Amino acid sequence: MTSRLGYAGVLVCFFLSGFAALLYETAWTREFAFVFGTSDLAVATVLAAYMSGLALGAGVAGRFVSRISRPVLAYALLELGIAAAALAVPWAIDGSTSLLVLGFGGRPDPPAQGGLATTLFYLAASFGILLVPTALMGATLPLLARHAVRSDAEVGRRVGQLYATNTIGAVAGTVTAAFVLLPALGLRHTIFVGVATNAAVFGVAALLARAFPPRPVVSAGPRAGLRRGGDRTRWLLALLFVSGVLSFTYEVLWTRLLGHLLGGSVYAFATMLASFLAGIALGSAVASRFARTREGSLLGFAAAQGVIAACTYAAFASLDRLPALAARLGSTGVSASFGGDVVLAAAMLLPAALGIGATFPLVVRVLARSEADAGPVSARAYAWNTLGAIVGSIAAGFLVIPALGYAGTVRAGMATNLLLALGALGLARPLPRRALVAVAGGFLVLVLAPPTSPWRLLRSSPFYPTPSSGEIAYLAVGRAATVLLLQENGEWELRTNGLPEASIQPRGGRPARFLITAWLGALPLMARPDARSMLVIGLGGGQAVEALPSRYERIDVIELEPEVVEANRVIAAERMLDPLADPRVRVTVNDARGSLLLTERRYDAIVSQPSHPWTAGAAHLYTREFFELAKRRLEPDGVFVQWIALSFLDDALLRSLLATLHAVFADVRVYRPMLPAILFAASDQPLEVEARIPRVVASAPQEWALLGVRVPEDAAAALVLDGAATRTLAAGAPLNTDDHNQLAMRSPRLMHDARARQGLLRLLADSDPLLAKEVPGDRVYLVRRLVAQLMADRAKRLMETTADAAVRETARGFLALALGRSGPARRAFERALESDPASLDARAGWLEAQRAALRAGDPTARSRARELDPAGRAVAEGWLREAARDWPGLRELDDGLGAVAPRHPLQPAAARLRVRWRVEGGDAPRCAEALDVVDRGLGVWVTVPDLIVRARAAACAGFPVAALSNLAEAAQAAPPNSPLAREIVRVLDALSLSGSATSDRARLRKRLAGLSAGS
């Protein structure tokens, strides 16, 4: 075998070593999260243990590598050892779970993160488990450097080539793990691929070793190349250490920043990491071509630091241009195509990474005095660089970025890069004056034009094409996430790393604005009226907590990010309700699984509302293992409720989630109170929600009216899959597990997949429990309720399957009425009355369709009004007094209007009349009453005109910001160039606002310009 061919074989082996190493890192990090959780502290301890093993392995290898005569054979044996140790890691992680529970379990309450004892356990367990495989990995580079470098001239070139080749393998491993192996095989089988790769490398390297002659043993010690180098270059290792600190600080910084555009999926993270590693590999390869002399390499190290500083400055300065570029590229971070993500990540990360990658071979070239030093010097340099990376990765997330912010971190990093360049230049002989001038120029730029915060990027999100223009109410660069609270359109939007978490209502806001969130805590109580304790996983904007019925006596909340809690506190005095002021509420900051693992407390209900199932903090909250853990923390008849957005699912993922829940719970149902999300309800006891509505509503009718629940049909209309349907759909579907989490892998690809959405909606339609022949309850009311819930297609299907002609035509009439088609509605009601002249629903519907005629004095309409029941006659009389603007007269009818039953077809009309006279009076207390009537009397029946009236009431009652919120909501549905659009503008202009709300109004007014043309 020729020397060139043998060296090529070694490079191939080392490429595969890097490939396997990143497979392991990806899989092991996720597996440790199942035990220690995804809190920043737990992740940091695992990362520190992993990299400490690499540094330790390199450091130990440096002491002995010069004495090894068959370094390729030793390398082969290391690869075999890595394979064997990697096989044991998953079982060791499982064992650490038992030890964790044994030592720290049994807590009376869910524990918070950050305890010293648990932190030490995390560190000891992760270090003990990862020490052997990572130390063996760290020892491989010094061995191959010992083999590959045959002359002093080859030191920089071949060490750089080895480092670059291994890093390119790491790039391939990162991409393959994220885009191929994890989605197709899962965690354990991904590890097996890594084991097979290491085993193959062992075989190839062992064969190669037979063809290479033994290397002469030399006596060079662990400080080879340093003793002879004198004090001048001895400090270079310290500079390399600091360079390692900076490299990982930048990696953490860029990952956090680009997350605002690319999202937090495994694909986005792999794209960013691959871009960073590709830059390191390319920089190392380029530097290896120029690392010929020691003095030249020393200057090259200084130049590399200058390149890092310059590229970082340029990239950071261009961040605010990225949202527009992302829009042009179609890059969202949550789509099936990732080409735009690659372009963005490469443009931002790769240039500076070139300089980072160049530093290692340059330092080795400076420190190695002969080919005999290649192995030990490589080991020492690798160890120091890796130790710096450990410090950088931990300090960046825990200290530097939270303390300095993004711009401050960049300024400090660039200044340190320039100081490193200055330090390296100080070691050069003769002192290069031009280079010193360049460094001075860099400091001058930092002073005169320092980097500033990229506000446009920080306002961006993978979900929206353009950055928000709202006012920033709160911004915190936390240890694990950037939490942003934006005020726009009278509401606050909470974002974490650019991903929307919640919208928060102001004082005087509409409780039913986000009904799906309010149902999270209400649904368990509908099923179990005696429930008294609840655990909520994820605080978010706090709506699920602020809407909880009073019957709950204890409410525990587990929130992963402490800055989310702080964001809620910042606006406590201005929001509709402050959930943290509720004495029943106890907030724990920790990872949910890690906290639940260590407590024995049981709850009547557990609600899980992680926002984005592909992110690290949420992905493991949709698996069988989490559902089993939640079940262990429930009382025997307890109820588990899981939220998920429909845009994150297709029919296959829905079936998988249903199968996973059925593998744990006996009864599973799916509810959809409003668009665009669904709620899974699961329990070991039958979920007889509709049958228990009368009892639970009777306990607090005013509270349940705010949730839009007054009669059993309100729950029936929200039920989209009953127990029988979920069992049928779950049959044969694969389970979503920690090992093979298909939801985490596939959900970010579905966000903009219209075909997936259509398939999912077809599946729900085909299994609709309302299509059964014997549907209990009032079908006309169900149709009206479905239309109010913006589910007109479902209402049509229910109407068409109704056998009773009178009921069918009545339902058809109300559907047409809701769509603003009074003529077809009147004719449908007349057909219904032909089939059933006594139908109260048809009579009331006909009169509502003929309301204009009634007000005009039409005798037929007046006659039909007299045929109604007392409630209907009160509404008809109210319409007449409203038309005459007889507000005192309308007030006299208030008691009768307030007594109209919830199922009565004219109940929403009665509520509107009760609101109208209160608002027209202009009295603040009466306007406050009007808000309550809208919220309790209308709820889901609110229309655009109702929102406009509510805005007037809110402004009159002293809640102008809530009025702004109502008008913004109305503007989303108002037809362009319509009287409604012009009325929205009129009311908006009349609002008395101050502070940021004034800017809010200006932005909304600008957006409404097209709607209100001609106003």
What is the DSSP track for 347-358?
A: HHHHHHHHHHHH
Tell me the residue length of the chain.
1015
| Residues 187-197 pLDDT 10s | 999 999 999 99
Report whether pLDDT(309) > 70: yes
CB-based burial label for 77 (10 Å; 0-12, 13-18, 19+): middle
213-227, 561-575, 740-754, 1000-1014, range with greatest mean pLDDT: 561-575
Give the dihedral sign, CA 803/809/814/819: positive
Q: How many CB atoms lie within 10 A of CB 189?
A: 15
320-329, 614-623, 907-916, range with greatest mean pLDDT: 907-916
Report whether pLDDT(7) > 50: yes
What is the phi/psi pair of residue 504, to 5°? -115, 130
| Residues 815-854 pLDDT 10s | 999 888 999 999 999 999 999 999 999 999 999 999 999 9
Report whether pLDDT(221) > 60: no
Q: What integer pLDDT is reported at residue 336 of this predicted model?
A: 52
Pairing of strands 482-488, 471-477: antiparallel
Please tell me the distance from the alpha carbon of residue 22 to that of residue 545, in angstroms, as a whole number.
41
CB 893 within 8 A of CB 874: yes
Please tell me the distance from the alpha carbon of residue 41 to that of residue 269, in angstroms, as a whole number.
19
3-state helix, strand, coil in the chain (%, to 5): 70, 10, 25
Find the mean pLDDT for residues 585-593: 94
The amino acid that residue 335 corresponds to is S
Q: How far is CA 210 from the centre of its chain?
A: 52
Examine residue 676 and say whether the peptide bond preceding it is cis (omega within 30 degrees of 0). yes
Report whether pLDDT(467) > 70: yes
Share of the chain above pLDDT 90, in %: 68
Q: In the numeric block, which tokens belong to residue 988? A: 């908006």
For residues 991 and 20, the model is more confident at 20
Please tell me the distance from the alpha carbon of residue 984 to that of residue 980, in angstroms, as a whole number.
6
Q: Which residues contact 792 (CB under 8 A, 6 or more apart)?
A: 786, 815, 818, 819
Q: What integer pLDDT is reported at residue 840 of this predicted model?
A: 92
Examine residue 451 and say whether the peptide bond preceding it is cis (omega within 30 degrees of 0). no
Q: What integer pLDDT is reported at residue 577 of this predicted model?
A: 92
Please tell me the distance from the alpha carbon of residue 444 to that of residue 792, in angstroms, as a whole number.
65
Give the dihedral sign, CA 38/39/43/46: negative
What is the phi/psi pair of residue 615, to 5°? -80, 160
Please tell me the distance from the alpha carbon of residue 934 to that of residue 212, in angstroms, as a whole number.
86
- DSSP letters, 817-855, are HHTT-HHHHHHHHHHHHHH-TT-HHHHHHHHHHTHHHHH
Find the mean pLDDT for residues 677-698: 94
Cα torsion 274, 276, 278, 283 to 10°: value is -170
Q: What integer pLDDT is reported at residue 225 of this predicted model?
A: 47
Please tell me the distance from the alpha carbon of residue 235 to that of residue 615, in angstroms, as a whole number.
42
Report whether pLDDT(967) > 90: yes
Report whether pLDDT(3) > 80: no
Please tell me the distance from the alpha carbon of residue 528 to that of residue 522, in angstroms, as a whole number.
10
| Residues 403-442 pLDDT 10s | 999 999 999 999 999 999 999 998 887 878 888 999 999 9
Report whether pLDDT(27) > 50: yes
Mean pLDDT, the chain, integer: 90
| Residues 628-641 pLDDT 10s | 999 999 999 999 99
- DSSP letters, 701-763, are HHHHHHTT-SSHHHHHHHEEE-HHHHHHHHTTPPP--SSS-HHHHHGGGSTT-HHHHHHHHHH
Going from the C-alpha of 798 to that of each of 726, 762, 769, the distances in angstroms are: 20, 15, 10
Q: What integer pLDDT is reported at residue 312 of this predicted model?
A: 96
Q: What integer pLDDT is reported at residue 773 of this predicted model?
A: 66
Residue 219: pLDDT band (50, 70, 90) is: low
pTM across the whole model? 0.92
Residue 388: pLDDT band (50, 70, 90) is: very high
Own/partner contacts of 836-844, CB < 8 Å, gap of 24 or more, are 836/806, 839/806, 839/810, 840/868, 840/869, 840/872, 840/905, 841/780, 841/810, 841/814, 841/905, 842/806, 842/809, 842/810, 842/813, 843/867, 843/868, 843/872, 844/868, 844/872, 844/904, 844/905, 844/906
- Which segment of 320-334, 593-607, 652-666 scores lowest on mean pLDDT? 320-334
- Which segment of 22-31, 458-467, 548-557 scores lowest on mean pLDDT? 458-467
Q: What integer pLDDT is reported at residue 228 of this predicted model?
A: 45
Going from the C-alpha of 407 to that of each of 306, 399, 795, the distances in angstroms are: 18, 14, 53
Cα torsion 628, 632, 634, 636 to 10°: value is 100
Q: Which residues contact 152 (CB under 8 A, 6 or more apart)?
A: 368, 369, 370, 371
Q: How far is CA 936 from the centre of its chain?
A: 33
Q: What integer pLDDT is reported at residue 261 of this predicted model?
A: 87
Going from the C-alpha of 35 to that of each of 293, 482, 735, the distances in angstroms are: 49, 25, 20
CB 357 within 8 A of CB 276: no
For residues 338 and 298, the model is more confident at 298
| Residues 727-748 pLDDT 10s | 999 999 999 999 999 999 999 8
Q: What integer pLDDT is reported at residue 803 of this predicted model?
A: 85
CB 524 within 8 A of CB 604: yes
Residue 404, SS3? helix
CB-based burial label for 399 (10 Å; 0-12, 13-18, 19+): exposed
Going from the C-alpha of 920 to that of each of 32, 454, 698, 936, 970, the distances in angstroms are: 62, 47, 33, 19, 20
Q: What integer pLDDT is reported at residue 979 of this predicted model?
A: 87
| Residues 746-778 pLDDT 10s | 998 887 788 888 899 999 999 999 887 677 789
Please tell me the distance from the alpha carbon of residue 325 to that of residue 327, in angstroms, as a whole number.
5
Q: What integer pLDDT is reported at residue 1010 of this predicted model?
A: 56
Please tell me the distance from the alpha carbon of residue 568 to that of residue 547, in angstroms, as a whole number.
15
Q: How many CB atoms lie within 10 A of CB 60?
A: 17
Q: How far is CA 858 from the centre of its chain?
A: 58
Residue 1015: pLDDT band (50, 70, 90) is: very low
Q: What integer pLDDT is reported at residue 229 of this predicted model?
A: 45
| Residues 333-368 pLDDT 10s | 655 567 778 888 999 999 999 999 999 999 999 998
Q: What integer pLDDT is reported at residue 340 of this predicted model?
A: 79
